[in-house]
Amino acid sequence: METTAPGVWRRFLLRIWAAGWRIGAYLLLAAALTVVMFVPVGAAGLASEGAMSFASTAAVLLASLAAGWVMMRWVERRPFGAMGFPLGRAAA
């Protein structure tokens, strides 16, 4: 029977926790920003009856990009280009 050191499990659980709270924070932020983005869309009367209206889809897209930018900038401390959208000459 093989035994593992308690430190291995502790590091494993810490990594799971680190990933879990970041995912949870992103989902919460994206949901909150989606609600904020839907207020002007609904006020302007741009939301149609269809589930896939352009304004609704654009609001969700912008909210998820903004949430990703906030998480990358202030939580992960990485540049926005790390998400796959390089800015500057690398984009050309």
The structure's pTM equals 0.71
Q: What is the pLDDT of residues 45-92, one digit of tens each?
A: 766 666 567 778 888 899 999 998 899 888 888 877 777 777 776 555
The predicted structure's pLDDT at residue 23: 94
- Are the C-beta atoms of residues 72 and 85 closer than 8 Å to each other? no
3-state class (DSSP) for residue 89: helix
The predicted structure's pLDDT at residue 6: 74
The residue with tokens 């291995």 is: 8
The predicted structure's pLDDT at residue 1: 47
